[in-house]
A and B are shown apart, each in its own frame.
Chain A
Amino acid sequence: MSRQTGLYGLMAEFDDVNTLAHAVRTTADAGYAAIDAFTPFPVEAISETVAEARGERHNRLPFLVLLGGVLGGIAGYLLQYWASVIEYPLNVGGRPFHSWPSFIPITFECTILGASLSAVLGMLALNGLPMPYHPVFNVPRFALSSRDRFFLCIKANDPLFDRVNTRRFLERLGPQHVAEVDL
């Protein structure tokens, strides 16, 4: 439907975080699932309600970070083992080739490096960033979402979405404005 109408969704603007929190709750309770809220700073309660409404309870990032850390650590240790024992065994002051205590610092650093890279790249990838174009920026007042305004968007691809009724619904939540978001 959204493809035909050229409409991404409807965007309501609020001037207060509590009004938005209440609006998101009400929208979720009304059964809308394709929703998103936009805030100038992280608001845990709103993020949780949105995730719940969209049926996305999981946050996969911690798992990715664990995986990155474990892989980084294993790779770091194996690199040292392979170089010092197999590929280039060098007698340094009679120390064993497999001097594992000496390999700990680099293994540790590689663990941190793998985990940190996964945290940053994983966060960006799961968020779909970088994203050069997004329809929400077609609403001129949306620029205020990075200053002091709070936005709630109901997407046109939601099964309950109706251009007129959804607009009426949003207007009852106490917004400053409701705007149509073009694709």
Chain B
Amino acid sequence: MTPETAIGPDGKPPLIGPGHTFATVTDKISAMVLTQRTPRVWWVGFAAGFAGVMLLLTTITNLVLRGIGIWGNNIPVGWGFDIINFVWWIGIGHAGTLISAILLLLRQQWRTSINRFAEAMTLFAVASAGLYPALHTGRPWMDYWLFPYPNTMGMWPNFRSPLIWDVFAVSTYALVSLLFWYVGLIPDLATLRDRSPTRAGRTVYGMLAMGWRGSARHWQRYETACLLLAGLATPLVVSVHTIVSFDFAVSVLPGWHATIFPPYFVAGAIYAGFAMVLTLAIPLRRIYGLQDFITMRHLDYMARIVLATGLFVAYGYTMEAFGAWYSGNTYEGFMITNRFFGPYAHLYWTLILCNVIAPQALWFRKVRARTGLLMLIAMFVNVGMWLERFVIIVVSLHRDFLPSSWGMYHGTRWDWGMFVGTIGLFLTLFLLFIRFLPMISISEMRTMLPEAAVKEEHA
């Protein structure tokens, strides 16, 4: 809880606690997987997550048996929790790619200790996100129809629709994130292979490491591959949420049809994602004693990114209102008035509280130095970003152009069940990841140590 006082050579607190060597870094991180007793809190979390997975399976079974009528979606609100949760999850994933790709290109070394689990977070968030549109089709066993393939019906997808763009964007994103994560893991899997005390561990990690032996020539191509993947993942991550925003912006609905949507969605995604990274990092460093690796400086930087992207998002909200007023369009004007004062106004103002007002506390260094407060603000943002999608989707849809087609939307218990279920799925996958794979990149942490520097005369 107390801010660390040690000062590194650059006049800032060091990114890695004092006294570490290649051996201690390797042993400490690999021991969390190989030898250390699984903490009791892990089991509690896993039990909760697993219960959530069971709930998810129950809701999916009922959905497949009875159809999507069990959800609250109905005309005029044809998109409900399914799309809200899809956008929420996929947005959360974006911080992982930002940390692993964009911060790598920008040579931000502090990313090293958080990139592995942030990438894992991306994968599991994308998996949770992907479930929703797949199930929303109503007949998920026909989902392969989404992909272009020669078929006996002689039909092809309509490539002019943003929804098919989304299929390509999200599946590419999922695959590239998986590849990037796996490539990053290979040297660490070799470490686990060489250090595992059990035969089963040596065999499984050995197969996954694919015979990695740390050859100088291999490292060279490996580094090139990582750098190129980072360069490719950077425009990819921006394109994914841009295309998600096209699902809305390309339509002609007031509240959706706005040119600010792509940048505003991308900023919102990074905002939500960093809040989730904080939500995961703060308990992790406490439970596993990782204060040496995930230092207060890391938390401070992440808090600053939350603050900055939060301001982008606040600008987005302002411009939405300004655009509605300045356009002079009756329907746009009504949409924004309805958002401020209509039947869902309480959700809009809660969203403003969570996403615009609460993060302003991060201006203060004292707030950024307190893990409890950071966790609280991250929770506000997690909730706020969910509400943002609710407001964009439901509040724009529920007042159709004619008052005769107005309606109200409420999630049913099955909607809530599935939402809680995907949180359980995310938690379960994440806990399995930290139990069986190194949650911090060991090989990259070694490069951060002063003894990793090669003196010039040898170069």
Q: Chain A: residues with CB nearer than 8 A to chain B? A: 16-18, 21-22, 24-25, 36-51, 54, 56, 59, 61-62, 65, 69, 76, 79-80, 83-84, 87-88, 90, 92, 95, 99, 102-103, 105-106, 108-110, 112-113, 115-117, 119-120, 122-124, 126-127, 129-134, 136-137, 142-148
Contacts and interface: CB of A to CB of B under 8 A. Distances in A.
A132 B211 contact: yes
Contact of A109 (B148, B157, B239): B239
Contacts of B168: 76, 105-106, 109-110
Given A40-B443, A115-B228, A119-B232, A18 B243 contact: no
A99 B160 contact: yes
B228 A62 contact: yes
Interface string B153-169: 01111111110110011
B contacts with A: majority SS: helix
B212 A129 contact: yes
Contacts of B443: 40-42
B220 interface: yes
A62 B232 CA distance: 12
B160 A92 contact: yes
Contacts of B459: 21, 45
A76 B148 CA distance: 11
B183 interface: yes
B218 A116 contact: no
Contacts of A130: 210-211
A176 to B, nearest CB: 14
Nearest to B192: A146
B89 to A, nearest CB: 19
B216 A46 contact: yes
A130 B218 CA distance: 12
A46 B221 CA distance: 13
Interface of B: 21-23, 26-27, 148, 154-162, 164-165, 168-169, 172, 175-176, 179-180, 182-183, 187, 190-191, 193-195, 210-225, 228-229, 232-233, 235-236, 239, 243, 246, 443-444, 446-447, 451-455, 458-459
Given A22-B458, A120-B183, A102 B159 contact: yes
B159 A137 contact: no
Contact of A115 (B212, B232, B455): B232
B225 A119 contact: yes
B186 to A, nearest CB: 8
B72 to A, nearest CB: 30
Nearest to B176: A116
Pick the most buried of B169, B195, B211: most chain A CB atoms within 10 A of its CB. Answer: B211
A61 B219 CA distance: 13
Given A40-B446, A83-B157, A116-B179, A61 B224 contact: yes
Contact of A123 (B195, B214, B222): B222
19 contacts: A22-B458, A40-B22, A51-B220, A59-B221, A80-B159, A83-B157, A92-B160, A105-B162, A109-B165, A112-B172, A116-B180, A119-B229, A120-B182, A120-B225, A127-B215, A145-B214, A146-B191, A148-B21, A148-B22
Pick the most buried of A17, A92, A130: most chain B CB atoms within 10 A of its CB. Answer: A17
B449 to A, nearest CB: 9
A102 B160 contact: yes
Given A90-B158, A92-B160, A134-B211, A50 B216 contact: yes
A127 B454 contact: no
Nearest to B173: A109
A17 B452 contact: yes
Contact of B195 (A113, A119, A147): A147
B225 to A, nearest CB: 4
Contacts of A113: 172, 175-176
B220 A47 contact: yes
B225 A61 contact: yes
Given A42-B223, A109-B165, A132-B211, 20 more contacts: A41-B444, A41-B446, A45-B458, A47-B216, A50-B216, A59-B221, A83-B148, A102-B160, A112-B235, A113-B175, A113-B176, A116-B179, A123-B224, A130-B210, A136-B213, A143-B194, A145-B214, A146-B26, A146-B195, A147-B194
Pick the most buried of B157, B183, B193, B224: most chain A CB atoms within 10 A of its CB. Answer: B224
Given A127-B218, A130-B211, A143-B195, A17 B148 contact: no
Contacts of B224: 59, 61-62, 123
Nearest to A81: B159
Contacts of A37: 215-216
A18 B455 contact: yes
Contacts of B453: 17
Contacts of B190: 146
Contact of A147 (B26, B165, B175, B176): B26
Nearest to A39: B214
A28 B148 CA distance: 54
A106 B229 contact: no
Contacts of A109: 165, 168-169, 172, 236, 239
B100 to A, nearest CB: 13
Nearest to A116: B176
